[in-house]
Structure 1
Amino acid sequence: MGFLDAKDCKAFMAPILLLLAFILSGLELTGAQSVGVCYGKNGNNLPSEVDVINLYKSNGIGRMRIYEPDQPTLNALRGSNIELIIGIREKNQLQALTDAAAATSWVQDNVRNYWPDVKFRYIAVGNEVRPDYAEAQFVLPAMQNIRNAIAAANLQDQIKVSTSIDTTLVENPFPPSQGSFSGTASSFINPIINFLVSNGAPLLVNVYPYFAYVDDPQKIALPYALFTSPGVVFTDPEGNRGYQNLFDALLDAQYSALEKAGAPNLQIVVSESGWPSEGGDAASVENAGTFYNNLINHVKSGTPKRPGQAIETYLFAMFDENQKGPDQIEKHFGLFTPGQQPKYQISFGG
């Protein structure tokens, strides 16, 4: 067999280069979709659901979190290709879903009726349920029943069932290597962790450097919370890992707790993170814009404990919500005003 001449070589290489370009564009798209935005509706002045979906699309936001089934939103999502976390957070609903038939009906009404036109990614059964809450006992049975209903629909490979916790279930978060679930939290979270591991689902965690900072401003510097520290702020003796921002420290404390709970390979999805623009200490447009931009850029590269692993992250939230409370600060986490104007100059693709 002879050597290829220049013409043959071009003909041979063209499809290979085309395939390579396709693969690289796919990787680029995946990276761009690593940041989602939570869509809360606690406002009486918010745009229509169709306008909201168009706003997501025009800003290149490829993922969304909603907190409960909402028919107008689900209908507006049809054909959008936006990947969705759909939540179940009402206390009475969690208890109702401990009945298998009710869980089957819930999946039929809120998932199967929209699939595959709506791209469901996760079902979050409960949001920030604490171990001492009355509904805590219902979270795992509801998760099991929802997962069984998803499996019966043959969607278990496409849609994962999880729950969303806050960072307070972990005690001793400093240094991050010492993080572990508290004694009270363990009896609640350990069976949930086992469920997630056995079903290949991630744990959803709401991570807020803002609240950690305002709770202890004497010990935590503002640049450390805003990703603007010029260098390493402290080094964790275990593993000699250097920390330059609070977000990484909070997240790695969660990973340390999972390791101690026997789940070292369980992935975490950051299901909320944000910074308010007014209403409290260090709440300003400048600080919030700095935080969101730096967070988007940072989550592409992982944490000291999980380097090189992009962190699937959802910014909180799409709009200021004038009916949230009781604290004023809760009304000011929006990336956009209710009039759909951006509050910050943000590129959501990083």
Structure 2
Amino acid sequence: MAAPAPLLVVLLGLTLLPLLFFPGAAGEVGVCWGTNGDNLPSPAAVVQLLKRQSITMVRIYDTDRGVIRALANTGIKLMVSLPNEQLASAASSPPFARQWVQDNVAAFYPTTRINGVAVGNEVFDMAKGLTQQLVPAMRNVQAALAGLGLDGAIKVSTPVAFTALKKSWPPSEGAFQDDIAQSVMRPMVAFLRQTGSPFMINVYPFRAYLDDPQHISVAYWTFQPNDGVVDPDTGRRYYNLYDAQMDAVRYAIRSVSPGSVRASVTTQDAGGNDDDILLTSSEIGCSDWKIPKKHCKNFANGLIAHTLGASSARAKHTSGLLDSVGAGAGATSAYIFALFNEDKKSDDSERNFGLFYPDMQPVYDVDFVHGSGPVTPAPAPASSWCVANAGVGDARLQAALDYACGHGADCGAIQPGARCFSPDTKVAHATYAMNDYYQRHGRASQACDFNGAGSIVYQQPSICDPSQAASWCVARAEVGDARLQAALDWACGHGADCSAIQRGGRCFDPDTKVSHASYAFNDYYQRNGRASQACNFNGAGSIVYQAPKIGNCQL
């Protein structure tokens, strides 16, 4: 994390950025999972906390094996980091970058859903001597991913310190520091645009408030109602400091983009699309060391609601000036810093950024599904669903399906052999994924856009419910007849009705251990409510989601 910036550097700003694939979709909010403490819970316990909180993405500052393995098979997206200490090696040696990617990314993907590599952290601020090596290191890591066919799923970027801007107010004059603007930022922006990777920026609005509480109101930086602040050059009114910060970043990006026009933000509000780089807040948070917890709570929940799209961009013209009401970060993803209070950090402020104490009790209540506060939209109807629009065609449905599954929807149930794989059609699978994404994003209307491929309905459609989908328990032939016989005897002796597999019974044939065990296992499994443990049988049973048929006997 960078040191506090002067007031002129803190008043940064943002326009509405179009999403890389679906401009109507909302952003996501994750957490920075630091481990700089000696009293933190185990990775396995932390993963359960992430699940309970519906946190769908995580950033870590290294490649901790315990953390990466704990996130396996969870669907939680993970950004790993190549630390500053290894930056020079990655920049100068493509073989080093290839080995690093093989050992720290490819070895765990896709079991662990790694979706990004952060190359270095705040290099311009924390490791200035490595500044010129940053982009070469990013290119070598990208090339290593491409060599393994992973560059489509895993993106390469670098978290940039907020102080990389020399000017941030008014936002429309946002610009990078002279010593990095052309030599580093220009090629970096070109690299990010070429690879479809996000521009990552670490921003801390609360620091601006601490620097100048007389001129920056609590309401302005915590997403509470306020009169806003106007950019005198564009007439754009900002109702929260976060939008102002991010807007200056975007203008700074435009200022170094080859061939780009440094258009005003109103171009975007009018439907323009001159930028194709997605902004991500790679760190954003609030330390409650000098800030009341209630302010940090309002900020965190306001940020979540804002980012998830609860605050849609609405524009109106007043006296010839664009007055953007609630515009901002709906298309910008963010990682809240940090998951825990970490007792080995350098000072009291750094030790008090956590959303949770080390015992996993909340420092204050945060709702990762909806957020809260004035930016929360009007409540959605009691029940609504998102369904696929078959009329857009399979290609657009597949794109929407891929986007939903790649941005937080749990698509495990529609994989081959899973509970909701059937019917195996684009419409059915897209509807399942889009609705899961929609529900996870609080049923915000823009969370069912998918570039026109989704529609909201208010009568329950026929969408597979994994908890209700039919399933069966069958025997695993590979364990051998002895284990199958033992499991068969156990099932028949503990409640399964095995009369049909007795000699002369309707399911006696085929007279094999696998057939008889499958019948007994499934009868026991169904009688015990299809609980997963009711199909264990010491490893001899397996759950399937398509009705098995053994001989003439349908289970």
Query: Which bin holds the TM-score, normalised by the shorter protein?
Result: 0.7 to 0.9
Q: CA, structure 1 residues 43+83, in 2 after alignment: closer, same or farther (shift >3 Å)?
A: same
Larger Rg: 2
Q: Distance in 2 between matches of 1:277 and 1:309?
A: 26
Runs of 4+ more than 6 Å apart: none
Q: CA, structure 1 residues 260+90, in 2 after alignment: closer, same or farther (shift >3 Å)?
A: closer
Q: Distance in 2 between matches of 1:296 and 1:289?
A: 11
Pick from 278, 281, 292 the counterpart of residue 270 of structure 1: 281
Contact 1:302 1:311 survives alignment (8 Å)? no
Q: Distance in 1 between matches of 2:212 and 2:166?
A: 15
Query: Where do residues 120-139 of structure 1 align in structure 2 (5 Å cutoff)?
Result: 120-130=114-124, 133-139=128-134
Determine if the alignment matches structure 1 residue 35 to structure 2 residue 8: no
Q: Distance in 1 between matches of 2:205 and 2:49?
A: 27
Which residue does 1:19 correspond to in 2? none
Q: Distance in 2 between matches of 1:235 and 1:285?
A: 28
Q: CA, structure 1 residues 197+211, in 2 after alignment: closer, same or farther (shift >3 Å)?
A: same
Number of positions where the alignment pairs a residue of Structure 1 with one of Structure 2: 315
Which residue does 1:209 correspond to in 2? 205
Unaligned ranges ≥5, structure 2: 1-21, 261-274, 314-323, 371-555
Which residue does 1:48 correspond to in 2? 42
Q: Distance in 1 between matches of 2:156 and 2:117?
A: 5
Contact 2:301 2:367 survives alignment (8 Å)? yes
TM-score, normalised by the number of residues in structure 1: 0.85
Contact 1:37 1:65 survives alignment (8 Å)? yes
Pick from 75, 78, 86 the counterpart of residue 80 of structure 2: 86
1:219 positional shift: 2.6
Determine if the alignment matches structure 1 residue 175 to structure 2 residue 196: no
Which residue does 1:310 correspond to in 2? 331
Q: CA, structure 1 residues 291+306, in 2 after alignment: closer, same or farther (shift >3 Å)?
A: closer
Secondary structure at 1:116 match in 2: coil
Q: Distance in 1 between matches of 2:213 and 2:161?
A: 20
Q: Distance in 2 between matches of 1:315 and 1:308?
A: 14
Pick from 221, 224, 227 the counterpart of residue 223 of structure 2: 227
Unaligned ranges ≥5, structure 1: 1-26
Q: Distance in 2 between matches of 1:288 and 1:321?
A: 17
Pick from 68, 90, 100 the counterpart of residue 97 of structure 1: 90
Contact 2:31 2:57 survives alignment (8 Å)? yes
Secondary structure at 1:321 match in 2: coil
Pick from 291, 294, 317 the counterpart of residue 286 of structure 1: 294
Secondary structure at 1:135 match in 2: helix
Secondary structure at 1:269 match in 2: strand
Which residue does 1:20 correspond to in 2? none
Q: Distance in 1 between matches of 2:115 and 2:327?
A: 23
Secondary structure at 1:105 match in 2: helix
Query: What are the Cα deviations for residues 231-273 of structure 1, in whole angstroms up to 9, with x where unaligned?
Result: 3322223442111111110010101111111263322111111
Query: Where do residues 125-164 of structure 1 align in structure 2 (5 Å cutoff)?
Result: 125-130=119-124, 133-164=128-159
TM-score, normalised by the number of residues in structure 2: 0.55
Q: Distance in 1 between matches of 2:217 and 2:297?
A: 18
Secondary structure at 1:69 match in 2: coil
Q: Distance in 1 between matches of 2:312 and 2:82?
A: 29
Pick from 286, 289, 298 the counterpart of residue 306 of structure 2: 298
> What amino acid sits opposite 2:202 in the alignment?
N
Q: Distance in 2 between matches of 1:71 and 1:302?
A: 39
Which residue does 1:115 correspond to in 2? 109
Secondary structure at 2:331 match in 1: coil
Query: What are the Cα deviations for residues 137-189 of structure 1, in whole angstroms up to 9, with x where unaligned?
Result: 22111111100000001011101101110221112211111111121121222
Q: Distance in 2 between matches of 1:125 and 1:114?
A: 18
> What amino acid sits opposite 1:345 in the alignment?
D
1:306 positional shift: 6.9
Q: CA, structure 1 residues 308+218, in 2 after alignment: closer, same or farther (shift >3 Å)?
A: closer
Structure of greater relative contact order (alpha carbons < 8 Å, 6+ residues apart): 1
Q: Distance in 1 between matches of 2:177 and 2:339?
A: 33
Secondary structure at 2:124 match in 1: coil
Secondary structure at 2:280 match in 1: strand
> What amino acid sits opposite 2:130 in the alignment?
E
Contact 1:258 1:266 survives alignment (8 Å)? no
Which residue does 1:17 correspond to in 2? none
Query: What are the Cα deviations for residues 285-343 of structure 1, in whole angstroms up to 9, with x where unaligned?
Result: 11111111111111224775975842211111100000011x31000000010001011
Q: Distance in 2 between matches of 1:62 and 1:302?
A: 22
> What amino acid sits opposite 1:324 in the alignment?
K
Query: What are the Cα deviations for residues 110-161 of structure 1, in whole angstroms up to 9, with x where unaligned?
Result: 1111011011111110111117711212211111110000000101110110
Determine if the alignment matches structure 1 residue 341 to structure 2 residue 352: no
Which residue does 2:352 correspond to in 1? 332
> What amino acid sits opposite 1:179 in the alignment?
G
Contact 2:79 2:118 survives alignment (8 Å)? yes
Q: Identity, % of aligned pairs?
A: 37
Q: Distance in 2 between matches of 1:239 and 1:307?
A: 15
- Cα RMSD, aligned residues only: 2.0
Contact 2:31 2:338 survives alignment (8 Å)? yes
Q: Distance in 2 between matches of 1:192 and 1:39?
A: 26
Which residue does 1:3 correspond to in 2? none
Determine if the alignment matches structure 1 residue 243 to structure 2 residue 238: yes
Contact 1:35 1:349 survives alignment (8 Å)? no
Which residue does 1:73 correspond to in 2? 67
